[in-house]
Chain A
């Protein structure tokens, strides 16, 4: 049960986590990467003499193709080491003997991770929307939906990253596994399931297809390389399930984990 005192303490923890992102230049690094990608998307077509997409959905769709990668990087940079670093770097000896519950520490760190990740994606979609409005003269509700799906996906990734951070001993292992889980392992599992004629609706990287799909025109005829994407409602449920289960398990693990080093 989270009481008022817990919430106050969670915000204290969150504020110092965000200070960490700022001073370790993780947030700045992500912003620089964001600027580079945006620069490429906006700068390449004129440089190559190609026209920009003419509809807002197609225009933002170009941006949406990179959203999943940004979401994974957010999970890696803002969540993967959040819990295990307290043990590995021995900062837990300072933090844990304070009168603060471990659950509150998890909540504070989670709030900070989500705030940083959402900020990155909202800035990305904000710039994409502004550019789409400037180029095509209009915006659609689908752009907003794509942004909402992206936020849901990054929330799922942050949850899973917290789970890995709570069970793994080292920050490097947690970071690397988070990255490869969402860029490689889930994709391979999804592909193998499809080969075996099993619907991979429960694989989050498959569900993340809704971020781009919502901006695409309905396909005419079967695509050359069909990729299964669950419907938006199922996808959102998958994201929510991964997030909730991961965060609950991470909280229990973090609560039970002893500081022995």
Chain B
């Protein structure tokens, strides 16, 4: 069976501005793939080309082996999408919105009724099933968007910032939905700039910036590439300048920066062995260390490092 998403040399220009360079990306079946990048990196452009909202300037994209530009109807048949926060026809209720999407997809009445009930319960909109969408908040529209994407139990879910507009509880619920879709063996391709979100639900990720793919791999592979050298040490009492200078001279310490309230940022030059040496030295010195932890996650550090590099 063909890969759910295969992109080769995909690019998009707006006049002289290149929104997407020449992207090569293959997403195998059954995984949750995070598509990371800052605003304007080219994430939405990629997703809009994949869903036939934009025409590529070069290259091509296939969904399950079917070219999106040449055969959009066939290519999108097994795909559910949430792109940005879509607007719905205000004069329809969630049930009618789902009926519209379901009837376009040729779903039977019984299947449509059963699935509509299920997905509205999943996104916690069952109590609003008959209310007109025009009265909905952005978060509620986002939930409805997720419901319509799940309606036909798609083999591939393409999500563009799926937690945008949701409160923390809603964000957690969406992450749970994505995890359950993944557990069912379906493929999820989601763009995000929320690294914690990607780390929680995705198996693999790619990092894109200025229309170029910077990195791609499983989260473990990406974590190994990260520069996890910055740590935050918290002391019971703020170290004085002499003590800070002493820490700076411990073997493996590259720099020391106090950031207030007894917190000191320490950059190391090595891996876990160096960490052990430094912690041990600080404790032996009599400084009252209460916490020593890495600053940010490995993915976050990798992201910041890569985005900084492309900015330069």
Partner of B53, one of A23, A24, A99, A259: A259
Q: A9-B104, A12-B100, A12-B103 are in contact. Are A97 and B87 (CB under 8 A)?
A: no
> Are A16 and B74 closer than 8 Å at their CB atoms?
no
> What are the residues of chain B within 8 A of A100 when measuring CB–CB?
73, 104
Residue of A nearest to B103 (CB): A12
Q: Which of B77-85, B120-128, B186-194 contacts A (4 or more CB under 8 A)?
A: B77-85
Given A97-B76, A99-B72, the answer on whether A258 and B100 have CB atoms closer than 8 Å is: no
Distance in Å from the Cβ of A111 to the closest Cβ of chain B? 15
Q: Which residue of A8, A94, A258, A259 contacts B101 across the interface (Cβ within 8 Å)?
A: A94
B302 within 8 A of A: no
Q: Do A94 and B145 have beta carbons less than 8 Å apart?
A: yes
- Alpha-carbon distance A258/B97, docked complex (angstroms): 23
How many A residues touch B, CB cutoff 8 Å?
26
Q: How far is the CB of B301 from the nearest CB of chain A, in Å?
A: 34
Q: Is the CB of A98 within 8 A of B53?
A: no
* Residue B255 at the chain A interface, CB threshold 8 Å: no
CB distance A98 to B89 under 8 Å? no
In the complex, what residue of chain B is closest to A90 when comparing beta carbons?
B87
Contact B53 A92 (CB under 8 A): yes
Digit string of B61-81 for contact with A (CB within 8 Å is 1, else 0)? 000000000001111110101
Give the residue among A9, A12, A101 with the most B Cβ atoms within 10 A: A12
User: Which of B83, B92, B96 lies in contact with A93, CB distance below 8 A?
Assistant: B83
Closest to B148 in A: A94
Q: Which residues of A contact B224 (CB under 8 A)?
A: none
Judge whether B53 and A20 touch: CB under 8 Å: no
**Residues of B close to A96: CB separation below 8 A:** 51-53
- The count of A-to-B residue pairs whose CB atoms sit within 8 angstroms is 73
B residues in contact with A23, CB < 8 Å: 91
Tell me, rounded to whole Å, the shortest Cβ–Cβ distance linking A107 to chain B.
13
Alpha-carbon gap, A160 to B105, bound state (A): 30
Most buried by A among B55, B81, B89, B105: B89
Nearest CB of A to B51, in Å: 4
A259 vs chain B, min Cβ distance (A): 4
In contact, A97 and B89 (Cβ under 8 angstroms)? no
- Which one of A5, A13, A97 has the highest number of Cβ atoms from chain B below 10 Å of its Cβ? A97
Known: A8-B106, A16-B89. A97 touches B73 (CB 8 A): no
Q: Is A50 at the interface (CB under 8 A from chain B)?
A: no
Name the residue of chain B whose CB is nearest to the CB of A24: B91
Q: Known A12-B104, A101-B72; judge A94-B86 contact (CB<8 A).
A: yes
Cβ-defined contact, B91 with A20, below 8 A? yes
Q: Mark A247-258, 1 if CB is under 8 A from B, else 0.
A: 000000000101
Q: Can you list 10 A-B contacts with CB-CB less than 8 angstroms, sorted by A residue number?
A: A5-B106, A9-B104, A16-B100, A91-B86, A94-B97, A94-B145, A94-B148, A97-B53, A97-B81, A99-B76
Q: A20-B89, A93-B84, A101-B73 are in contact. List 13 more A-B contacts (CB 8 A).
A: A89-B87, A91-B86, A91-B88, A91-B89, A94-B86, A94-B87, A94-B148, A97-B53, A99-B73, A99-B104, A99-B105, A100-B73, A100-B104
* Chain A residues packing against B (C-beta within 8 Å): 5, 8-9, 12-13, 16, 19-20, 23-24, 89-94, 96-101, 256, 258-260
